[in-house]
Amino acid sequence: MKILQINSSQRPQASQSSRLAAQIVERLQAAHPANELTIRDLGLAPHPALDEAAITAIFTPADQRTPEQQARVELDDAVIAELKNSDVIVLGVPMYNFGVPAQLKHWIDAIARAGVTFRYTEKGPVGLVTGKKVYVALTRGGLYRNTPADTQVPYLKAFLGFIGLTDVQFIYAEGMAMGADAEQKALASAQSQIDELLPA
């Protein structure tokens, strides 16, 4: 089994979401020691934004691209290949200003490619990345779960489902900025959720 871990915190050395993602991966590897792991840390190595130059490169026929355009497309090709070659995807996602980190959005923009990870039909869009399990470790400073202020979960569910990833489990650590006791309680709650999903 191949595992892809995506860390999206802008604080790679002090990220609780990345640590929770790593704990999920550790459980998966403990159950199946032969698992292959790929880690992409978007805080340490940000993926470039989808700007006009990138869009132009993507929509230029491969045999007509400049070397610079081809190099830009290949950056997206690499993250798409990682995704498609993985059996399990583990995302570490902190909440920034009610949304996902910008670097995670750049990764999402990179893997959303018509005809590759989704396609449109007469009956609507069809996801092409199927048969995979997704775990999402969410860390939030406040309490947002199941409230209108939680824009992350609906967005991630909608996007992941759009490309065919419908088997998604969310792990929540909330109240992280509400004091030391609240932080410890949040991490303990997240650990309990991991224990329930992936018993040791």
105-114 pLDDT, tens per residue?
999 999 999 9
Helix axes 52-59, 67-84, angle to 10 degrees: 80
Q: Which residue has the tokens 């989808």?
A: 50
pLDDT per residue as tens digits for the range 32-45: 888 899 999 999 99
Residues of each annotated binding site:
9, 15-17, 95-98, 139-142
Of 71, 16, 82, which is closest to residue 43 (Cα–Cα)?
A: 16
| Predicted structure pTM score | 0.94
Write down the CATH superfamily of domain 2-197: Flavodoxin domain (3.40.50.360)
Annotated binding-site ranges for FMN = 9, 15-17, 95-98, 139-142
Name the residue ranges covered by the structural domains of the chain. 2-197
Q: How far out from the chain centre does Cα 161 lie?
A: 13
